């Protein structure tokens, strides 16, 4: 019996090995190397000359106003984008969950921004949001609202990116919510109907609680994706005006590949990685406690 178990395990692990090897080479190994580089003065063009410099990078990091600002920016982004994006996704899912005519059209329409490349979306919105001749300001003017600077204002730029990101991303979560909604058995609703519950009570006491596993999944994936924000500011604002849309990942990219300070950039990835880890753990704790 034991022998068979051993053999079975061996076979199982062997089947897993291609995936494990790939995961190890392209994910685990680079991550470990980044931790190592974080303690060196690795300059992109002289890889052979890197030497161990202890905590120097980290000391510099916590005195780097741009990095600290980028952390502040990303927290603003995450805090704003999650409720908007997840809320919109849930709303859209509820809208198209009912069997109505033309449902397929709306499903495709809501999902289409997800299919498009983020760069395309960003360029598109850049045109729409142009303060001088963009369509959005033209519409605002028609309804009597002052034209807005949007991406060119240090106060509005990040919130504009929040809006564009939520608009782009909501379609994807909508699909997952939709799957969750369709998993809720209709018998529960029938029972509540007999009890005389109205639509709102149905939503609050049946739909939401039964969607909880789906919601947790969506929250965690959206959170992690939101922290990785880079393409929208890169294309739309280059981190400006005055670093108001600089994000950690963008700053890491800039430091590593434009300034060529791989060591310093690695230190940032380590700190930022730990931060994301902490936030994710806190979040999963909170959602477990609720149960």
Q: Binding segment for other proteins among 102-110, 138-146, 206-214, 232-240 (CB under 8 A)?
A: 232-240
Q: Which of 56, 148, 149, 253 binds other proteins (CB under 8 A)?
A: 149
Assess 240 for contact with other proteins (CB under 8 A). Answer: yes
Paired tokens of 261:
């300070």
Compute the Cα dihedral for 228, 232, 238, 242 and give only its sign.
negative
Site string for other proteins, 116-145 (x = CB under 8 A): -----------x--xxxx------------
115 SS3 class: helix
Half-sphere exposure of 172 (CA within 13 A, CB side): 16
Q: With respect to other proteins, which residue has the nearer C-beta, 21 or 108?
A: 21
Could you tell me the sign of the dihedral formed by the alpha carbons of 148, 151, 154, 158, in that order?
Answer: positive
241 scored as a contact of other proteins (CB under 8 A): yes
Which residues make beta-bridge pairs with 52? 40
Q: Does 260 bind other proteins (CB under 8 A)?
A: yes
Residues in contact with other proteins, total (CB under 8 A)?
31
**Residue 111 to residue 93: CA distance in whole angstroms:** 11
DSSP alpha helices (H): ranges in 98-211? 103-115, 118-128, 135-142, 157-183, 186-195, 199-202, 208-210
Nearer to other proteins by Cβ, of 211 and 249: the residue is: 249
Cα gap 150→209, rounded to integer Å: 38
- Tell me the per-residue interface mask from 58 to 77 with other proteins, x by CB under 8 A, - otherwise: --------------------
242 versus 286: smaller Cβ distance to other proteins:
242
Peptide bond before residue 281 is cis, with ω within 30 degrees of 0: no
The residue within the footprint of other proteins, chosen from 112, 259, 277, 286 (CB under 8 A), is: 259
Which of residues 9 and 112 has its CB atom nearest to other proteins in the complex?
Answer: 9
Of residues 5 through 64, those in contact with other proteins by CB under 8 A are 11, 14-15, 17-18, 21, 43-47
CB 239, CB 250: distance < 8 Å: yes
**How many Å apart are CA 76 and CA 90, to the nearest integer?**
22
By CB under 8 A, tell whether 156 contacts other proteins: no
Beta bridge partners of residue 14, listed in sequence order: none
Nearest approach, Cβ of 117 to other proteins (angstroms)? 14
Binding region for other proteins (CB under 8 A): 11, 14-15, 17-18, 21, 43-47, 127, 130-133, 149, 152, 154, 237-243, 254, 257-260
């Amino acid at each position: 019996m034991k022998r068979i178990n051993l053999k079975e395990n061996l076979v199982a692990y062997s089947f897993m090995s291609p995936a494990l090897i790939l995961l190890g080479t392209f994910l685990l190994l680079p991550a470990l190397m980044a931790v190592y580089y974080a303690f060196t003065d690795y300059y992109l063009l002289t890889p052979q000359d890197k030497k161990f410099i202890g905590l120097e990078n980290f000391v510099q990091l916590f005195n780097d106003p741009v990095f600290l600002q980028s952390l502040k920016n990303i927290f603003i982004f995450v805090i704003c984008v999650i409720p908007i994006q997840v809320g919109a996704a849930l709303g859209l899912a509820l809208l198209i969950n009912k069997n109505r005519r033309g449902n397929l059209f709306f499903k495709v329409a809501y999902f289409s921004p997800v299919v498009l490349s983020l760069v395309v979306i960003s360029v598109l919105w850049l045109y729409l949001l142009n303060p001088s001749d963009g369509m959005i300001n033209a519409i605002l003017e028609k309804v009597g609202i002052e034209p807005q600077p949007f991406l060119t204002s240090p106060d509005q730029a990040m919130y504009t990116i929040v809006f564009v990101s939520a608009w782009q991303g909501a379609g994807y979560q909508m699909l997952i919510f939709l799957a969750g909604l369709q998993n809720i058995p209709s018998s529960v609703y029938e029972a509540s109907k007999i009890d005389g519950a109205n639509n709102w009570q149905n939503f609050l006491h049946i739909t939401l609680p039964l969607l909880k596993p789906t919601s947790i999944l969506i929250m965690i994936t959206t959170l992690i994706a939101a922290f990785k924000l880079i393409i929208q500011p890169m294309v739309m604002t280059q981190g400006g005006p005055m670093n108001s849309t600089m994000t950690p990942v963008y700053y890491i990219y800039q430091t590593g590949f434009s300034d060529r300070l791989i060591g310093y950039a690695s230190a940032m990835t380590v700190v930022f990685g730990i931060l994301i880890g902490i936030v994710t753990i806190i979040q999963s704790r909170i959602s477990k406690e609720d149960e």
